[in-house]
Structure 1
Amino acid sequence: MATILIIDDNETIREGLAYTVRRMGHEVLAASSGGDGLRQFQHHGEVSFVITDLKMEGMDGVAVLRELRRLAPEVPTMIITAYGTVETAVEAMKLGAFDFLTKPFAPEVVRLKVERALDLAAARRAQRLLEAHKEYLEAEIAPRHRFADLIGASDNMAAVFRTVQKVARTDATVFIHGESGTGKELVARAIHEHSARAEGPFIKVNCGALTETLLESELFGHEKGAFTGAIKTKMGRFQLADGGTLFLDEVGDVSPAMQVKLLRVLQEHEFERVGGESTIKIDVRVISATNKDLDAEVAAGSFREDLYYRLHIVPIALPPLRERREDIPLLATHFLAKLGPRTNPAVRGLSDSALGRLMAYHWPGNVRELENVVEQALVFAEGEHIAVEDLPATLQGPGDGDTLDVPKEMSLPEILEDLERQLIRKAFDKAGGVKTETARLLGIKTSALYYKLDKYGIA
């Protein structure tokens, strides 16, 4: 479903167009003037196509087209006119209009032109993504592909962005699950920075890096003399996070005894320091994260069910990088722009063959590993573009037979589909045609593999 803006001061025409577009399954923004249309365009931020009348009171269609070309030249526009002359068409095209529509018009003509315009918009988006890895200096990730420091154009990352945006407006407890390196802390920070607590502290603690005794002191603080070495009173992380957000990373590693104490803080919003008697009240939002399967931990009795449900108010599942391969060019672009200036300013991008290796790799370390790979490649690169030989040995492979070719003259969705086909074919051959082993090599479910084998005609 796309969002289409219709600008026309004639209510009958405006509503007729809106009706036709809605019947196609798209969302409609309708405006009775050029000024109102531009305001809606800027406010909505996700408009895929604009249809505007040429002759209107106040700001006419020519002025609207000029402003749209300044604001978002990649968004297709179409002019409506009762004056279907060659001069009108030429004027509209010079201003960047994709097409023009002459009054009166039939619904089927509108549908055809809308479909063509949306195809053009999709092609332009794909082209921008494809070129992202070719333009590394000051690379800009489109706003809809970024939320705070989170980057992604894939559907599953778009779902994460939507959830983060919604939950940030509330004070709900959030539980983030994902493999190591997927960006759990980035999600926690994004929620904090877009919440009403953004001006308050963001405090984090790695629960898996501390013993039970140290973790208790770290979370709740301790009084002077509470134990050997406690030479002064220390504030705990809960108290330090008062008015802000506390991020409990690797919460699945907390001991049963500490789980009881965590549960009490979440329920009562109060605690005592180690060795102390005074009860301390706090106002803290808790975000927790783990790479463990807490459902299995609860079933095994190693994690308290009541604490699990206290932490699990709003769950967010972060996909591994191998399940969002279309984000690799964007992420590589981001890391090149971030690391290049101080590591190797001469590098401007990745060669197509190097990008093919990145797309084919299974990324057990996820986004964190990709960042490390980009930084290492920058260190070894000698030209303007990172070559295959600049990549770590794990990505170079044993020889050219393991290379994936990046197709030319194709849109990004077509390239990704072709790379997926190549990857599945190579894994299938490597597994000797054994489907369960092929699925294991690819890191996907066997049921998903059967679908893809059928899709690509791989027997």
Structure 2
Amino acid sequence: MSFEKILIVEDDLVVRNLLQSIFLRHKLAVTCADTLANAAAALGREPFDLMVLDLRLPDGDGLRLLEQVSTMPERPLAIMITGYGSIESAVACMRAGAFDYVLKPFSPSQIDVILRKAQTYRQLVKVNSLLSDDPDDADGLLVGRSAAMSRLRQLIERVAPTDATVLITGESGTGKEMISREFYRRSPRRGQPFIKVNCAAISQNLIESEFFGHERGAFTGATERREGRFELANNGTLLLDEVSEIPASLQAKLLRVLQEREFERVGGSRTIKVNVRIIATSNRDLLSYVQAGEFRQDLYYRLNVFPVHVPSLRERTDDIPLLAEHFLRRFTRKHGVKVTGFSDSARGAMMAYRWPGNVRELQNTIERAVILSESGRPVNASALGLPVEIDAAAIAAAAQVWDAPSVVEPTAAIVEAAPTGQEAAAGAVASPGVTDPAGQVLKLDELEKQAIRAALKQMGGNRTQAAAALGISIRTLRNKLQEYREAGDPIDVGMDSTDA
């Protein structure tokens, strides 16, 4: 985002001409004034982005004008210049709201540096007014051990470092915005603005102004110039949330911006160029919208450069235990309730439920259950309040998934960070792979046995540490060892097996 209009308030003709030539070189519109009275008149006629103000003027102190400007609704950034600098005057100017303080004589390069700093500062101020804090579940991004989440992590790792436009689809509540933030965090633009515009939450009368900004007087109520989201996201990333809701009247203009990277504000004629990476999300089938004539085909293909589908929770039920435990830890900290995990019935209820609201519904359900639960006791099924039947079979099925080792597909290139003990066990397990030395594919129960044997060996026979490294409960590990003994294959023979 660049400045457009500059006001120079300086009575020295040589200095004034030097400043004017510097700003004209940057293709900025310059207005000059040689007195406080002329400067006040100029400020009353039109808004300015930047004011360069001499501290001593023929009709008074520039500090007085600076104090008046600080109360204006469209106040420009102010750079104070003086040939009589002192610490006291510098402090007074900064307290009155000056952006910078420059001593005469100065060089053009000094002004160039200050101009860049001022433009960056103005963009940050505008961007911060739009931003909310990152979601409080940012530390839980991409939690999951399912094959679907493994593939999604691989896609993000490969595509995030590029400038490719990404279209993220999936049901409501699956975490599409979180995924978009992960693309941003892993991109070279992560130090630049990340601006979101919710296309479904803005009225059709205002959405063009939200996208591209407007000039003063462009329509009723446009009392000042406003930068749009594309302009504020310059050099960064723009998230078009629920892009399917963009009205047909705006789709052609959006297509032009995506193709040409330029636009004009509403009511303006000046072409503004931007360098923005686009990430779009939708919970709709955009292709069906195209076929129904409700969404431009060329815009669809421009957005769909790299499609990413976020699976529903029904497609990744193996991740429910990890997500549930993650949300439990967060909300016990947040609300100061010391619950001790989930009861067997609560686990059974969560695994039996279909979760139409996906991860968001799971998160809200667990937060409510934490609040309703007694301190020092586990969350039970009644606290969850899920409309499902829970029987012994459901509880048994849930236990198998809940206590399953956290093993990711062998082809997964990206895995969640694990505790040190688990990393050590994983290293010990890695050598057998999924085939035996003869090249024969091993069955899952044999892989499981090898993993347990390796973990016990790595932990010196300590069952508690081995269970933690494998991501299962100590009870599950004991049951497995008992099964192996009854089958005549006691894998912990020769180890100093302990539970502590």
Q: Name the TM tier (shorter chain).
A: 0.5 to 0.7
Cα–Cα, structure 1 residues 386 and 403, in superposed 2: closer, same or farther, change >3 Å? farther
Cα–Cα, structure 1 residues 403 and 386, in superposed 2: closer, same or farther, change >3 Å? farther
Alpha-carbon offset, residue 326 of structure 1: 0.5
The worse-fitting range, judged by mean Cα deviation, of 365-374 and 205-214 is 205-214
Does the aligned pair in 2 maintain the 1:223–1:234 contact within 8 Å? yes
* Residues paired across the two proteins, number: 269
Amino acid at match of 1:389: S
Does the aligned pair in 1 maintain the 2:321–2:402 contact within 8 Å? no
Cα–Cα, structure 1 residues 201 and 327, in superposed 2: closer, same or farther, change >3 Å? same
Q: 1:388 matched to which residue of 2?
A: 381
Aligned with residue 292 of structure 2, among 292, 297, 300? 300
SS in 2 for 1:151: coil
Q: 2:151 matched to which residue of 1?
A: 159
SS in 1 for 2:205: helix
Does the aligned pair in 1 maintain the 2:348–2:390 contact within 8 Å? no
For the residues of structure 1 that align with 2:353 and 2:201, how far apart are their CA atoms? 30
For the residues of structure 1 that align with 2:278 and 2:399, how far apart are their CA atoms? 48
Amino acid at match of 1:195: S
SS in 1 for 2:151: helix
Q: 1:256 matched to which residue of 2?
A: 248
1:340 aligns with 2:332: yes
For the residues of structure 2 that align with 1:208 and 1:236, how far apart are their CA atoms? 17
Aligned with residue 395 of structure 2, among 405, 429, 441? 405
For the residues of structure 2 that align with 1:249 and 1:198, how far apart are their CA atoms? 19
- Deviation sequence 1:219-239 (CA, Å, 0-9, x none): 111111111111111111001
Aligned with residue 212 of structure 1, among 199, 204, 213? 204
SS in 2 for 1:234: coil
What do you get for the CA RMSD once the two structures are aligned?
Answer: 2.3
SS in 2 for 1:211: coil
Cα–Cα, structure 1 residues 236 and 280, in superposed 2: closer, same or farther, change >3 Å? same
Aligned with residue 266 of structure 2, among 261, 266, 274? 274
For the residues of structure 2 that align with 1:147 and 1:359, how far apart are their CA atoms? 23
Unaligned runs of at least 5 residues, structure 1 = 1-140, 417-459
For the residues of structure 1 that align with 2:334 and 2:402, how far apart are their CA atoms? 30
Alpha-carbon offset, residue 345 of structure 1: 2.6
Aligned with residue 283 of structure 1, among 275, 283, 290? 275
Does the aligned pair in 1 maintain the 2:351–2:398 contact within 8 Å? no
SS in 1 for 2:196: strand
Cα–Cα, structure 1 residues 169 and 147, in superposed 2: closer, same or farther, change >3 Å? farther
Q: 1:352 matched to which residue of 2?
A: 344
Q: 1:318 matched to which residue of 2?
A: 310
Alpha-carbon offset, residue 389 of structure 1: 1.2
**Residues 162-177 of structure 1: pairs in structure 2 closer than 5 A:** 162-177=154-169
Aligned with residue 379 of structure 1, among 351, 371, 380? 371
The worse-fitting range, judged by mean Cα deviation, of 181-190 and 343-352 is 343-352
Compare relative contact order (CA 8 Å, sep 6+) and give the higher one, 1 or 2.
Answer: 1
SS in 2 for 1:359: helix
Does the aligned pair in 1 maintain the 2:349–2:390 contact within 8 Å? no
For the residues of structure 2 that align with 1:211 and 1:402, how far apart are their CA atoms? 51
Alpha-carbon offset, residue 406 of structure 1: 3.0
Amino acid at match of 1:168: A
SS in 1 for 2:171: coil
For the residues of structure 2 that align with 1:411 and 1:367, how far apart are their CA atoms? 17
For the residues of structure 2 that align with 1:323 and 1:400, how far apart are their CA atoms? 21
Does the aligned pair in 1 maintain the 2:164–2:277 contact within 8 Å? yes
Does the aligned pair in 2 maintain the 1:344–1:379 contact within 8 Å? no
- The structure 1 segments of at least 4 consecutive aligned residues displaced by more than 2 Å after TM superposition are 399-403, 406-416
For the residues of structure 2 that align with 1:278 and 1:348, how far apart are their CA atoms? 62
Amino acid at match of 1:388: A
The worse-fitting range, judged by mean Cα deviation, of 400-409 and 147-156 is 400-409
Cα–Cα, structure 1 residues 242 and 167, in superposed 2: closer, same or farther, change >3 Å? same
Alpha-carbon offset, residue 163 of structure 1: 0.5
**Residues 436-455 of structure 1: pairs in structure 2 closer than 5 A:** none
Unaligned runs of at least 5 residues, structure 2 = 1-136, 407-500
Amino acid at match of 2:185: E
SS in 1 for 2:195: strand
Aligned with residue 327 of structure 1, among 309, 319, 332? 319
- Deviation sequence 1:174-209 (CA, Å, 0-9, x none): 000000000000110000000000000110011011
Alpha-carbon offset, residue 346 of structure 1: 1.1
Alpha-carbon offset, residue 315 of structure 1: 0.2
Q: Could you say which structure has the larger radius of gyration?
A: 2
For the residues of structure 2 that align with 1:193 and 1:173, how far apart are their CA atoms? 15
Does the aligned pair in 2 maintain the 1:353–1:406 contact within 8 Å? no
SS in 2 for 1:373: helix
Percent identity of paired positions between Structure 1 and Structure 2? 49
Superposition TM-score, scaled by structure 1 size = 0.56
Alpha-carbon offset, residue 149 of structure 1: 1.7
**Structure with greater helix share of residues:** 1
